[in-house]
């Protein structure tokens, strides 16, 4: 054993270096290439501002949808086990593993002008979703909310139901039990889910482009702006990339220090 230890250490060090290089070098490239002198001016340009606003609006919308619709859905999924629940769970979780382009096509086929729901919306309300800001929001929610439901259901399943019984024996009705006992007690899961949902929605690119297009000021979010800039303004692309990378790192930091590691 003693003779093998140095070799194992070398192998370990090599693996670590390789892995670190694989993940760190691209980021390093981004940092080194960044036009730091132009940083402030570029960031304040109207085009970048529009993209940021759109990204913030759509990703925040996804989080709102997560709480308003995703939480009741997670509560229902966690409340038992049945074939219907299993099917619904697979449908809800699908966007997590689905190639985003497929998600985009699916959204377009459903909500597009001639889509299943889209044609009905057009005929009855004269509403057309594709290539609008609401479409960006829908794509963001479609991609982000599943992460929230995943975390919320896990939190609810691990929740000790007897606390609900204790609350009931103290006179608390179903709503008070849910909002004053269950939600605060599974808050770490909900926060983690909301952060993942928000981060995923913020980075959404493929489905958005497919379903909402790439219209400056209306549907061009940060990732889309980044992709456009790469073609004629590489410096701006690097800049936008850095901002997105910084936000993602921030989310990870939050997950690690506020949510996943309990005080």
Partner 1 sequence: MNLVADFALRRGSFELAVDLEVDASGTVAIVGPNGAGKSSLLAAIAGLLRIDRGSLRLGDRTLDGGPGGTFVPPEQRGVGMVFQDHLLFPHLRVVDNVAFGLRARGVARRQARDEARRWLDRVGLAEHEGRLPAQLSGGQAQRVALARALAARPSVLLLDEPLSSIDARTKVELRGELRRHLDAFAGPRLVVTHDAVDAFALAQRIVVLEEGRVVQQGSVAEICGRPRSRYVGDLVGTNVFRGVASNGVLRLANGGSLVVPAEPAGEVFATVHPRAVALYRVRPDGTPRNVFAVRIVAIVPAGDRMRVQVDGDVPLVAEVTPQAVADLALAAGGEAWVALKATEIALDPA
132 burial (CB, 10 Å; 0-12 / 13-18 / 19+) is middle
CB of 117 to partner 1, least distance (A): 39
Closest CA to 149 of 79, 61, 252, 75: 75
Between residues 160 and 231, which has the closer beta carbon with respect to partner 1?
Answer: 160
Quick check: 181 binds partner 1 (CB under 8 A)?
yes
176 touching partner 1, by CB under 8 A: yes
Q: Length of the chain, please? A: 263
User: Residues 218, 131: contact at Cβ < 8 Å?
Assistant: yes
Is residue 172 part of the contact set for partner 1 (CB under 8 A)? yes
Stretch that binds partner 1, among 2-10, 79-87, 163-171, 237-245 (CB under 8 A): 163-171
Q: Closest approach of Cβ 148 to partner 1, in Å? A: 20
Strands (E), 84-215: none
Residue from 6, 46, 80, 171 in contact with partner 1 (CB under 8 A): 171
Binding status of residue 6 toward partner 1 by CB under 8 A: no
If you search the block for the tokens 């509560």, which residue do you land on? 75
| CA pair distance 83, 60, nearest whole angstrom | 32
- Number of residues engaging partner 1 in binding (CB under 8 A): 18
Listed ranges 77-85, 135-143, 171-179, 250-258: which one lies at the site for partner 1 (CB under 8 A): 171-179
By CB under 8 A, name the one of 5, 6, 173, 232 that touches partner 1.
173
In the complex with partner 1, the residue whose CB is nearer, 58 or 189, is: 189
**187 lies in the site for partner 1, by CB under 8 A:** yes
Candidate list 10, 170, 252, 260; residue touching partner 1; CB under 8 A: 170
Cβ within 8 Å of residue 48, ≥6 positions away: 42, 225, 236, 239, 240
User: How many Å apart are CA 262 and CA 11, to the nearest integer?
Assistant: 34
User: Over the range 32-70, which residues count as b (16 or more CB within 10 Å of their CB) and which as e?
Assistant: eeeeeeeeeebeeeebbebbbebbeebbebbbebbbeeb
Q: How far is the CB of 180 from partner 1 (least distance, A)?
A: 8
- Cβ 199 to partner 1, closest distance in Å? 26
Cα dihedral angle (260, 76, 201, 212), rounded to 10 degrees? Answer: 180
Q: Which is nearer to partner 1, 56 or 164 (CB)?
A: 164
Q: Which is nearer to partner 1, 40 or 173 (CB)?
A: 173
Q: Which of 45, 79, 86, 165 binds partner 1 (CB under 8 A)?
A: 165
**Which two three-digit tokens encode residue 235?**
């410096």
Q: Least CB distance from residue 68 to partner 1, whole Å?
A: 22
Min separation Cβ 174 and partner 1, Å? 8
Q: Which residue has 């690097």 as its token pair?
A: 238
């Amino acid at each position: 054993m003693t003779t093998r230890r140095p070799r194992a250490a070398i192998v370990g060090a090599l693996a670590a270096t390789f892995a670190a290089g694989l993940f760190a070098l691209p980021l390093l490239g981004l940092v080194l290439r960044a036009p730091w002198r132009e940083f402030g001016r570029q960031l304040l340009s109207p085009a970048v501002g529009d993209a940021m606003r759109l990204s913030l609006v759509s990703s925040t919308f996804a989080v709102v949808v997560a709480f308003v619709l995703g939480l009741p859905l997670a509560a229902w999924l966690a409340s038992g086990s049945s074939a219907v629940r299993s099917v619904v769970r697979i449908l809800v979780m699908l966007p997590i593993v689905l190639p985003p382009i497929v998600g985009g096509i699916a959204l377009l086929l459903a909500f597009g002008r001639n889509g299943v729901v889209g044609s009905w919306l057009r005929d009855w309300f004269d509403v057309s979703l594709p290539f609008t800001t609401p479409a960006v929001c829908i794509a963001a929610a479609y991609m982000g909310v599943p992460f929230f439901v995943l975390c919320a259901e896990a939190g609810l399943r691990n929740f000790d139901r007897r606390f609900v019984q204790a609350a009931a024996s103290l006179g608390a009705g179903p709503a008070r039990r849910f909002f004053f006992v269950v939600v605060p007690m599974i808050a770490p899961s909900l926060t983690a889910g909301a952060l993942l949902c928000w981060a995923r929605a913020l980075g959404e690119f493929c489905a958005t482009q497919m379903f909402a297009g790439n219209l400056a000021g209306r549907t061009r979010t940060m990732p889309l702006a980044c992709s456009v800039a790469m073609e004629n303004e590489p410096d701006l692309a690097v800049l936008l990339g850095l901002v997105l990378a910084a936000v993602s790192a921030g989310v990870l930091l939050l997950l690690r220090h506020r949510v996943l590691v309990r005080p």
